[in-house]
Structure 1
């Protein structure tokens, strides 16, 4: 009996020592992959897909993929440089604080005719896009569209396949809201240098703007 108890004690101590040397799965630090905070060109094969829809997305919020139409292309002569002192409408959001400021090659255009979307509807889209937390691939001459109420947001790759994220797209939509939509106008942010893209807000049902920037 004493021998049996001694053996049991030794086996128990050995097992405890072995367990103490193993990392605890629940307490082990997890690697968190940072999402793309800008735009970069993608080479090779990749598949375009829609971003995640947050569980708390408002009823009526929709996303889809569409393609640029040549008949809606605009001249780059109408673009203006983005002011350095522009006040983003959601500057307090942590994601927007981490994102890069505009490059000198980034421009914008506010529509000079037609009825603009409601800023409140566009604001809901911006918040929902930022909450989507998705890395994305956007095919050439293709657009991601986000719609709610009177507002239709978009992000388009003008020339090549791009990698980006909803963090970056949300920041550009927010900027279009601050520069144009808040003043009752549709608005577009445009990157003229490679990789070329545009993003912004139009009134629901309106064709998406495009620019002839591919060389």
Structure 2
């Protein structure tokens, strides 16, 4: 697998380059294989030159919010994410890779309190415990897709996606001033919680579910993202 040394030319027939951010958060190989099947040339890396030069950056995430942020900070991930987004360069976050795009994550331990952790702050809001009798929320669920979605283009309305999480964003707090395009926020429900399942906000897309584990439905979403990089 060769390193990415420059972004693609924009030729519709070219293979988009994707940097899959390696910061010690779980097994990235399933995401790599899914992206390659979607038509991307993938490099697993935390090299800033490669991350910033790629057509797209995928930020995975498995486990606890605070632990993921610790790993991300160790490789200067927030700075690289911020630099890409400042230049309108696409980023996709998956699972905790979506959660860390928010300001705060609250980890509940023994029920006697909470410990907030700082996220990257790309979006305002807090990742908090879901209100449900059964946790983690593990398995297949539908998504209430906002009208005009590019991420879910071509997907059936009753399509199901694979989730594994106990925490989520239950309130969308980003306000728009009327001069910028409003984000598309997609929702799902588990127990007594309605939570953010996915977001499309300019160059920043993210999913709480795992598209790489969601069969044909997830493969379609990844193709839509990879195609948007051309």
Relative contact order, higher structure (CA 8 A, sep 6+): 1
Greater percentage in helix: 1
Give the structure-1-normalised TM-score.
Answer: 0.27
The TM-score with structure 2 as length reference comes to 0.26
The structure whose residues are more often strand, as a share, is 2
Considering only CA atoms, is the larger Rg found in Structure 1 or Structure 2? 1
